[in-house]
Amino acid sequence: MRSVILAILILLPPTARADRDAARESYQQGNELFDQSRFADAAAAFARAIEADPKFFEAAYNHALADEMVDRKKAIVDWSKLAETAANAPDFKYQVGQADARVQILKMLPDYPDALQPSHYVPSASDYYSVIAEDSESDRWRQFPLKVWIGDVPNGNWAQGVREAFGIWKEMIPMELTPDPDEADIRFDWDTEQSMADGHAGEESDWVQFQRVGNDVTSRKVAHISIAQARNWSRDEMRAISLHELGHALGIRGHSPSKGDIMYWQVQEGRRRVPIPGVYYPLVIKSLVSKPSQRDLNTLIRLYNTPGVVTRMN
């Protein structure tokens, strides 16, 4: 096969070979940028590849994929054009089907609040979208602001921790507190005794459960957050636990593999060593992750703007 390709390239006129080489170089650049989560730069590189070789299907496919994290309208145009131009290409029948499906999904996505727009994605922080995407796609919210009921919190420290967690997420995602549990989209439940049934404490397990309310026409979903009452959590611990569980309720239905993220599977204590003059052993100060990381936010942004997991073409 390689000898056939070489023979074809030799038969191509010099200008055509140069265009193909330029297209291939831009394509490889685009792939590298895409893998670095630099989606806008990747889209630009794929566009250069397509300009040099208009029949470069792989570049067109990856270009549409990158544009999903740049501009939804552009991505719809990209996928539509790809599906149309490759409709009669049997080698790409599966990808054409994917393109049609993604156009339909993108068109159905609602207008999201500013915090969930791709422009707020920070490439240098990357994300863990691929880890959580498959389980999370069905739990994206479509209407904002979300109404949150925190219920009858057992004690003052817990109440303060939960409210602080709510305030932190509210700065990023439109939410408001409601005194009516029946109108809440997210509910905190404090009467659970399930925490010790399987040996888990609240920060170690995903206690968020989604429930449909009403009939098929008027049904809506409600996320129930059950905080495990395994011990007398401090205010800081309750803030970290609530931040984590609210992250699940907002749509991240899995866990980050990084300890620096609020969505790591276990709430992490940070340790800072403070040297004290005349004391041989430094003082160790413990602290908890106090807010969602940019990786957490990037993952949420990518989850809401990507219509399903697919792998870029090589």
Q: Give the pLDDT score at 4.
A: 43
pLDDT in tens, 41-84: 999 999 999 999 999 999 999 999 999 999 999 999 999 999 99
pLDDT for position 30: 98
Would you say 64 and 78 are in contact if contact means Cβ atoms under 8 Å apart? yes
pLDDT category of residue 182 using cuts at 50, 70 and 90:
very high
Pick from 250, 166, 175, 173: nearest CA to 206: 250
Residue closest to 185 by CA, chosen among 244, 246, 227, 138: 246
Q: Measuring CA to CA, how many Å separate 127 from each of 252, 261, 298, 313?
A: 12, 10, 6, 20
Mean pLDDT over 278-307 rounds to 79
Rg (CA), the chain: 24
- Rounded to an integer, what distance in angstroms lies between the CA atom of residue 158 and that of residue 155? 6
C-beta of residue 309 within 8 angstroms of C-beta of residue 130: yes
CA 82/CA 95 separation, integer angstroms: 9
Query: Which residues neighbour 204 within 8 Å (Cβ) at sequence distance 6 or greater?
Result: 265, 266, 267
The residue type at 168: I
Residue 232's closest CA among 150, 155, 152?
155
DSSP calls for 223-247? EEEE---SS---HHHHHHHHHHHHH
Residue 222, both tokens: 């409600």
Task: Scan for tokens 């009858």, then name that residue.
Answer: 152
Q: Please give the sequence-ordered ranges of beta strands (E in DSSP) within 235-282, or none if there are none.
A: 269-274
Is residue 32 a contact partner of residue 265, using CB atoms and an 8 Å limit? no
The residue with tokens 């809440």 is 184
Structural domains of the chain, ranges and CATH numbers in brackets: 2-108 (1.25.40.10), 119-305 (3.40.390.10)
Check residue 250 and give left, alpha or beta (phi > 0: left; psi -120 to 50: alpha): alpha
Q: What's residue 139's pLDDT?
A: 85
Say whether 73 sits in a helix, a strand or coil: helix
Q: 131-165 pLDDT, tens per residue?
A: 999 989 888 999 999 999 999 999 999 999 999 99
Q: Give the model confidence (pLDDT) of 221-254 as tens digits.
A: 899 998 877 678 899 989 999 999 999 999 999 9
Q: Smallest Cα–Cα separation from 79: which of 314, 308, 298?
A: 308
pLDDT band of 211, cuts 50, 70, 90: confident
Give me the torsion for CA of 30, 34, 36, 40, rounded to 10°: 90
User: What pLDDT does 174 receive?
Assistant: 96
Average pLDDT across the chain, whole number: 85
Q: What was the pLDDT predicted at 226?
A: 87
pLDDT band at 204, cuts 50/70/90?
A: very low
Structure letter (DSSP) for residue 90 = G
Token pair belonging to 276: 């004290």
pLDDT band at 267 (very low <50, low <70, confident <90, very high): low
Q: What's residue 9's pLDDT?
A: 46
- Peptide bond just before 54 cis, omega within 30 deg: no
Res. 15 pLDDT band, cuts 50 70 90: low
Name the region of 147 (left: φ>0; alpha: ψ -120 to 50; beta: rest).
beta
Give residues with Cβ within 8 angstroms of 272, minimum separation 6. Answer: 284, 285, 287
Q: How far apart are CA 161 and CA 250, in angstroms?
A: 18
Comparing 7-21, 23-37, 77-91, 112-126, which segment has the lowest mean pLDDT? 7-21
What value does the mean pLDDT take over residues 171-198? 82
